[in-house]
Amino acid sequence: MTARKGSFLLEHARKFVITDYGFPSLAIERKVIEGAGGELAAFQCKTEEEVINAAKGANVLIVQWAPITRAVIRSLSECKVIVRYGIGTDNVDLEAARDHGIPVCNVPDYCIDEVADHTFALAMSLARQLPMIDQAVRQCVWKTVPPRPMLASRQMTFVTIGYGRIARAVLERARASKLQLAACDPYLSAGSPVADGVQIMNIEETFRSGDIISLHLPLTKNSHHLVGADAFNKMKATAILINTSRGGLIDTVALADALQRGKIAGAALDVFEQEPLPKDHPLRNSPNALFTSHVAWYSELSVPELQRMAAEEAVRAVKGEAPQNPVVPI
């Protein structure tokens, strides 16, 4: 096969395999990949075995939710890169990828504004007690004073646990509402370069002094159940917890207990340890809680941006160019 102008091809096309996807069309990926001379095959894999069969001979794997286990990675004899649609890589065995010398990339910059907007909307909805007041009005209870103590924004400290792209965007929205700003991140220390007016806190200070605590960090062995019973015991009774990051960061049974006992004022979650949220989960009966169904990432622009960025990252890898967003660099 003759190489085309602007193509990475030398003697033969590269095989790109999409293991699974939730988009109505793959026209964007086809345009990017086939326009560069690649061959695209798409599947809807749900199991390890299905991925192994679909990925035979693949030079590139693009994955959304399918399990990319050690067995899958061991079978990828020709694979040059694994690209995850989205930010999290919970379903990819990163250690196995590293062991087998396969880079893993994500797409961390496709929905920053969407998640930041959603996060701040959840936070202010609970801070202003909108769900509780709405419920009271629907029940014909009309009071011009809210059901619980309500602090002014300028009295409150908004803390992000994590200080990446989305956390910084959330804090900028909080700045506009005159909240006091703080961040907690293992990579931050006194003197770290942060935006003007953002206080650096350690995890103990965050739990004890945060009025609104918003989670923005990956799920790892170290961060699993970072917020549990011990953390709730340290928080203010007026504290609000927000999670638009990863469900496993919170021990949700402990959260349900904390809400039911009034140990914190409220919680808003867009992500859960198990999705969908089980019908019998105690969170469903917890007061002062606001739930959305893992939609923080979504807008009419974010979906095509995600598809395009994932395909472009995959093409870069096959061209031998440095990836923009390596999670597991090789």
Give the residue numbers marked as catalytic. 246, 275, 294
Strands (E), the chain: 15-18, 39-42, 60-63, 81-84, 104-105, 157-161, 180-184, 198-200, 212-215, 240-243, 266-269, 289-291, 326-328
Per the structure block, which two tokens stand in for 62? Answer: 């693009």
Radius of gyration of the chain (CA): 22
- Cα–Cα distance, 49 to 71 (Å, whole number): 9
DSSP code of residue 227: B
Distance CA 79, CA 90 (A): 20
DSSP string, 49-113: HHHHHHTTT-SEEEESSS-B-HHHHHT-TT--EEEESSS--TTB-HHHHHHTT--EE--TTSSHH
